[in-house]
Every structure is written in structure tokens, then in C-alpha cells.
Structure 1
Amino acid sequence: MAILGFAVIRGNGVELKTKGGAKLNPGGYSRTSHGGGGKVWGNSKKFEAPALDFKLAADEDVDIIELNNMEEVTITFEGDNGLTYMITGAALENPAELDEDSGDISGRWIGRVCKKI
């Protein structure tokens, strides 16, 4: 099996003009240790939703307003190493941002469930 080199991101089956640097968090629990007096008394956990940070090429056919209006999207993260993950019920956490200097549109998809497919 190959090591991940790049990923293709799709929204509802349509390939997005993905630039490098995407980060997939499949969700799960973040944990915090609680202690005092040089001892850990226990841990608490908090559920974190699945998320995908992305950068898209700000091409003439990539409409940031249309992107911001997408809700209940199925996002797929297809690695060149053969692994594919799907986030369902996704929407942007905050409006995507257009960076004039880099030519990027960046944002973060959050969803309900992430599955390996």
C-alpha cells in the first residue's frame, strides 16, 4: 500500500478543485486529564464532530457563495493510497474565505458521521 500523497475531495459526488493541505479529522473523543498534587485523578472526554479542513483553487467556476449555501452534503476524501472516507450531513462550520494573495478558498466542513468506505 502507498503512503498518502494527495487527496481528491468531492461534495455530493462533484470533484472540488482541491489544493494541497487538506486535513481530515474523523471525529471521536478528545480527553482531558484532571489532577492535582502531582497526581492524575481521572480523565473527562468530550465528543468532537468529524471535520475536513480544505483549500480550493479560486477558479472562475468556483462560486464561494454557492459553496457557503451547501447543507446536508456528503463529502468524500479519496486518498491516492486507496483509502476513502465519507462525512455525511456536512455543512461549512463558518463561511468559506477567499484569499486574494494565495488564490485559495478555505474552510472547514463539519458533519454528523465519518466512515471508511
Structure 2
Amino acid sequence: MKHHGRAIITYNGKRLRSKPGATLNLGGTSRTPDPLDDGSVGYAESTAAPELTCAVPLTADLSVQELRDLTDANVVFESDTGKSWVIRDAFTVDTVSVGADVTLKFSGQPAEEL
């Protein structure tokens, strides 16, 4: 059985040439345990934002400005296992630092499996 090894990341149909190690937190419903004095444990729910983190090499054809200003995008994380997820209404989180690599973090609506 094949395990995840590589991811293809696209935004609005444009492929990012990401380095190994990209991760996706799907977001959605987060549950916090709520222990009670009688020994039982309940939980409280809240909404958690998704987070896709990746690094891309800084190349002449990479539009850092476009990625820094990205909003209202569809960002897709496609695993080499055949599983894919989309973050709709995605936007870039945090400021973007430029060096040998550009580290990017995206968020938006909870990720949906495609």
C-alpha cells in the first residue's frame, strides 16, 4: 500500500514547485475536552481554520508579490496517494520572507476532500 510521499500544490490552477515536507491541517470542527468532577469528560466545539504550509525555491519566474497578496483563491493539496483537498476562499497568512526558499502558509474555509 502506497504512503504519502509528495504533494502537488496549486492555487487558482497555477502549480507551485514546492519542496518536500508540505503539510495540510484540514481545519473544521475542533473539540476541547471538558472533564467534570464526577469523572466523566465532555467536550466543547469550535471552528478551526485550515493551514497549508509549504516551501518553494526562490526562482526568477516565482511571483512573490502575487503570493503575498493572494486572497479569494482555491488552493489544492494533492497527495501522490491520489487523495486531494481544496481550501476555498484561501489567502496567504503571515508575511512572506525571501531567501533561498520562500515559506508560504495558506488558510481559508475548512478543507474539503475532492
Which bracket does the TM-score occupy, shorter chain normalised?
0.7 to 0.9
Structure 2 residue aligned with 1:104: 101
Q: Deviation per CA, 1:12-43: give whole Å up to 9, x if none.
A: 01111211111111112222223365845532
Distance 1:87 1:44 in 2: 24
Q: Which runs of 5+ in 1 are unaligned?
A: none
CA RMSD, aligned part only? 1.8
Percent identity of equivalent pairs: 28
Q: Which runs of 5+ in 2 are unaligned?
A: none
Q: Which runs of at least 4 in structure 1 moved beyond 4 Å after TM superposition?
A: none
Distance 2:51 2:109 in 1: 9
Structure 2 residue aligned with 1:77: 77
Structure 1 residue aligned with 2:34: 34
Residues paired across the two proteins, number: 114
Structure 2 residue aligned with 1:87: 87
Going by fraction, where is strand more abundant, 1 or 2? 1
Structure 1 segment 6-25 matched on structure 2, within 5 A: 6-25=6-25
Structure 1 residue aligned with 2:3: 3
- Any conservation in 2 of the 1:33–1:40 contact (CA below 8 Å)? no
